[in-house]
């Protein structure tokens, strides 16, 4: 079965990102399943903020997602509208909005809702974590 993940819960005030990562790891470990991609929306886009630093005694869920995605070649999409609303920009968006800095963490891609639609259409199941 081919899965895609849709995450809306905050990486700091919910366990949505953690639970979704556990699910994603289980999917890729079972050779009968594949994972097409992950789409972060609403408060979940905060996971891609390169300037957010969790306390040293907590796991860095952002880095864990990036490592997982790199290891398994899974794209990590961040809703561009939700990210911009929260002050998260990649280099291209910073230039477009004439801002000197950008803070989108490496490994994440700013994309529109069309990417979510594509993921949903190519997947047998889309799992939401909120």
pTM greater than the 0.95 cutoff:
yes
Determine the angle formed by the axes of helices 61-72 and 16-29, rounding to 10 degrees: 20
- Position 3 scores a pLDDT of 98
- Position 117 scores a pLDDT of 97
- Position 93 scores a pLDDT of 95
- Position 24 scores a pLDDT of 98
Mind listing the pLDDT tens digit for each residue in 92-108? 999 999 999 999 999 99
**CA-to-CA distance for 98 and 12, rounded, in angstroms?**
29
| Catalytic-role residue among 79, 89, 105, 116 | 79
DSSP letters spanning the chain: -EEEEEE-S-TTTSSHHHHHHHHHHHHHHSTT-EEEEEEE-GGGGGGGBTT----TTS--HHHHHHHHHHHHT--EEEEHHHHHHTT---HHHHHHTT-S---BPTTEEEE-HHHHHHHHHH-SEEEEE-
Active site residue 79: yes
With a cut of 70, list the residues of the chain below it in pLDDT. Answer: none
């Amino acid at each position: 079965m081919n899965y895609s993940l849709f995450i809306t819960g905050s990486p700091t005030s919910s366990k949505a990102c953690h639970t979704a990562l556990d699910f994603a790891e289980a999917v890729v470990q079972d050779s009968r399943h594949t994972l097409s991609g992950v789409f972060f929306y609403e408060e979940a886009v905060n996971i891609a903020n390169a300037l957010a630093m969790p306390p040293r005694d907590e796991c860095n869920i952002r880095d864990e997602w990036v490592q997982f995605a790199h290891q398994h070649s899974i794209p990590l999409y961040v809703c561009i509208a939700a990210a911009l609303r929260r002050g998260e920009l990649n280099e291209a968006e910073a230039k477009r909005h004439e801002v000197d800095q950008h803070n989108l963490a490496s490994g994440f891609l700013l994309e529109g809702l069309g990417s979510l639609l594509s993921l949903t259409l190519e997947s047998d199941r889309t799992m939401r974590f909120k």
